[in-house]
């Protein structure tokens, strides 16, 4: 039996390290939690879209007050992603169910009615279509629904998290890791700093970002590359100050010549970035295309290099990697903070259940589940590339021909024969990832991937479907846009029910 953990050292003060430190301290208050970070190295400073598990983690799991969160992190709401993608050229993916759903008076799941027109298939989808975010309550206030995520500027989020961490008793140490020492049993014992200080702890969280100082550096854990499925490895990013553009309630993912571009909506800024493959175009070509499409973007956008993949075991001995230190995929579905929150909750629960003496079987279960999460995300993103027929460049031809989707070949084969049925769920690996079957079906139907057994819908059914679309659409037109809803929640007298 291992010794009981009394102290935890979190290496890294980016959003991953802070979320880990706060969650550990909040849920296991008697443990000493120290966070080490280096302001010389700084934080990555990008990463601005979330999925719905993020607000749930902040408010329901950690109990952070919405009032405080909105005042400091200044998020806007994200109902989903608008894809400028596939043969239709455009479709909306919402966090509520559109495709994994069937209306009681229709004979088929919704996806079968969307061959020609994939719009307003649900109320949230109609809100997206009309650039609205929430319905109005009878008193005129926004009815803030649960099916949303956030757009948040990374630095504002880190600011908010740091304040919360200090408030609940996380200790902060400034310094730069230079080395580490393990005991004879292989467990990490201490971290050595550049100025010769030595920090010891019983347990360590490696949240050192792409540097992965402990898991990748000290333990030399094997890195599993996604290079056969995801070809992009760079991004250029830069935004501009909002003037009179509407604040859209979604992220836009736009097909580009050698990748895709995001557009993220903050209250006072619009942020754009082009994710591309350096094997297909040069950095100069990427900047040229990016600036041509975005005349307001800076002429010298920030260049970020990355590799897609994950470390085989996220938990080695007494070290767990969280955030970019454990793995990374491009932000096509903004999944990084989703994995951070999911893995942190799993870690906390395992430490609680083991009375702070985690066993080897617990560690290997964590690693198995984390690995499934990564592979599910790889497959989901690969699907986006495999069937995007919007443009015909060398990069996209390569994606269609060479993207490895073997992890979901059964699902694709089933879909191609049978279409978007709920049975597809039994061909997925079953993870906690927010997108689930809904995400896969939205992408397949949205991109117009053909299937054999097209249903012969009666005229009456077609009309009924059209009525649903029209009803959602007219209801959504009465709803509130983001600017108006923000006006309410920033009002000093605004009270959040959940607080």
Q: Which residues bind ligand FAD (CB under 6 A)?
A: 11-17, 36-38, 41-44, 46-50, 154, 176-177, 207-209, 211, 213, 235, 237, 273, 304, 306, 323-325, 331, 334, 336-337
Q: Least distance (Å) from ligand FAD to the CB of residue 36?
A: 6
SS3 call for 306: coil
Q: Least distance (Å) from ligand FAD to the CB of residue 74?
A: 16
Distance between first and last Cα of the chain: 41
Q: Least distance (Å) from ligand FAD to the CB of residue 148?
A: 15
SS3 call for 347: helix
d(CA 107, CA 445) in angstroms, rounded, equals 18
Cα 464 to Cα 91, 200, 221, 423, 470, distances in angstroms: 21, 66, 56, 24, 10
Q: Considering beta carbons, is residue 176 or 425 the nearer one to ligand FAD? A: 176
Using DSSP bridges, classify how beta strands 302-305 and 234-241 pair: parallel, antiparallel or unpaired.
Answer: antiparallel
Q: Least distance (Å) from ligand FAD to the CB of residue 22?
A: 13
Q: Shortest CA distance to 285 belongs to which of 296, 295, 274, 272?
A: 274
DSSP 438-497: HHHHHHHHHTT---S------HHHHHHHHHHHHHHHHHHHTSB-HHHHHHHHTSTT---T
> What is the 8-class DSSP label of residue 310?
E
Q: Least distance (Å) from ligand FAD to the CB of residue 235?
A: 4
Q: Least distance (Å) from ligand FAD to the CB of residue 68?
A: 20
Instruction: Please give the angle made by the CA atoms of 31, 36 and 39, to the nearest 5 degrees.
Output: 155
Sign of dihedral through CA atoms 77, 83, 89, 92?
negative
Q: Considering beta carbons, is residue 26 or 88 the nearer one to ligand FAD? A: 26
Q: Considering beta carbons, is residue 118 or 250 the nearer one to ligand FAD? A: 250
Q: Least distance (Å) from ligand FAD to the CB of residue 175?
A: 6
Residue 242 CB-half CA count within 13 A? 15
Q: Considering beta carbons, is residue 17 or 142 the nearer one to ligand FAD? A: 17
Q: Least distance (Å) from ligand FAD to the CB of residue 494?
A: 27
Q: Least distance (Å) from ligand FAD to the CB of residue 14?
A: 2
d(CA 333, CA 131) in angstroms, rounded, equals 20
Q: Least distance (Å) from ligand FAD to the CB of residue 283?
A: 14
Q: Considering beta carbons, is residue 74 or 130 the nearer one to ligand FAD? A: 74
| Paired tokens of 337 | 């903070």
Q: Considering beta carbons, is residue 213 or 376 the nearer one to ligand FAD? A: 213
| Paired tokens of 117 | 């027109």
Q: Considering beta carbons, is residue 48 or 254 the nearer one to ligand FAD? A: 48
Contact 325, 16 (CB under 8 A): yes
**Other CB atoms closer than 10 Å to residue 423's CB: what's the count?**
12
d(CA 421, CA 419) in angstroms, rounded, equals 6
Q: Least distance (Å) from ligand FAD to the CB of residue 257?
A: 18
Sign of dihedral through CA atoms 409, 414, 416, 421?
negative
Q: Is 427 exposed, middle or buried (0-12, 13-18, 19+ CB in 10 A)?
A: middle
DSSP 104-164: TTSSS-GGGG-SS--S-SSHHHHHHHTT--BPBPTTS-B---SS-EEE--HHHHHHHHHHH
Q: Considering beta carbons, is residue 124 or 238 the nearer one to ligand FAD? A: 238
Contact 201, 9 (CB under 8 A): yes
Q: Considering beta carbons, is residue 46 or 168 the nearer one to ligand FAD? A: 46
Q: Considering beta carbons, is residue 114 or 128 the nearer one to ligand FAD? A: 128
Q: Considering beta carbons, is residue 218 or 415 the nearer one to ligand FAD? A: 218
Q: Considering beta carbons, is residue 141 or 224 the nearer one to ligand FAD? A: 224
CB burial of 4-37 (b: ≥16 within 10 Å; e: otherwise) equals: ebeebbbbbbbbbbbbbbbbbbbbeeebebbbbb
């Amino acid at each position: 039996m291992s010794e009981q953990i009394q102290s935890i050292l979190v290496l890294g003060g980016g959003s991953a390290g802070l979320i880990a430190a706060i969650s550990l301290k909040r849920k296991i208050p008697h443990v000493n939690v120290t966070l080490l970070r280096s302001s010389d190295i700084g934080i990555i400073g990008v990463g601005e879209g979330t999925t719905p598990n993020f607000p749930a983690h902040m408010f329901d799991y950690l109990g952070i007050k919405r009032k405080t969160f909105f005042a400091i992190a200044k998020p806007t709401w994200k109902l989903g992603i608008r894809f400028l993608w596939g043969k239709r050229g455009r479709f909306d993916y919402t966090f509520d169910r559109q495709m994994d759903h069937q209306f009681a008076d229709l004979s088929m799941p919704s996806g079968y009615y969307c061959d020609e027109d994939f719009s307003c298939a649900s109320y949230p989808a109609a809100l997206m279509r009309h650039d609205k975010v929430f319905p109005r309550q009878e008193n005129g206030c926004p009815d803030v629904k649960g099916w949303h995520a956030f757009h948040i500027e990374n630095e504002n989020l880190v600011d908010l998290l740091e304040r919360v961490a200090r408030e609940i008793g996380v200790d902060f140490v400034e310094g730069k890791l230079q080395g580490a020492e393990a005991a004879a049993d292989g467990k990490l014992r201490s971290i050595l700093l550049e100025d010769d200080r030595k920090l010891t702890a019983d347990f360590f969280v490696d949240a050192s970002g792409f540097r992965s100082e402990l898991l990748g550096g000290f333990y030399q854990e094997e890195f599993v590359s996604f290079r056969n499925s995801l070809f992009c490895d760079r991004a250029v990013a830069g935004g501009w100050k909002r003037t009179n553009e509407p604040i859209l309630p979604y992220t836009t993912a736009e097909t580009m010549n050698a990748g895709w571009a995001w557009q993220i909506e903050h209250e006072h800024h619009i942020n754009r970035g082009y994710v591309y493959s350096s094997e297909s175009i040069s950095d100069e070509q990427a900047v040229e295309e990016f600036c041509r499409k975005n005349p307001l973007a800076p002429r010298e956008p920030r260049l970020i290099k990355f590799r897609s993949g994950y470390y085989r075991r996220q938990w080695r001995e007494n070290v767990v990697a969280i955030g970019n230190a454990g793995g990374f995929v491009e932000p096509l579905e903004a999944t990084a903070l989703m994995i951070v929150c999911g893995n942190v909750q799993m870690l906390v629960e395992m430490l609680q259940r083991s009375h702070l003496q985690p066993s080897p079987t617990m560690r290997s279960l964590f690693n198995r589940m984390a690995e499934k999460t990564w592979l599910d995300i790889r497959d989901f993103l690969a699907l986006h590339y495999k069937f995007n027929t919007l443009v015909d460049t060398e990069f996209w031809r390569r994606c269609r021909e060479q993207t490895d989707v073997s992890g979901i070949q059964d699902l694709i084969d089933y879909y191609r024969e049978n279409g978007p049925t709920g049975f597809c769920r039994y061909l997925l690996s079953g993870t906690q990832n927010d997108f689930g079957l809904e995400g896969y079906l939205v992408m397949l139907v949205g991109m117009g991937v053909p299937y054999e057994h097209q249903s012969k819908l009666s005229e009456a059914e077609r009309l009924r479907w059209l009525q649903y679309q029209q009803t959602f659409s007219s209801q959504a037109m009465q709803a509130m846009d983001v600017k108006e809803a923000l006006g309410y929640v920033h009002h000093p007298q605004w009270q959040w029910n959940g607080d």
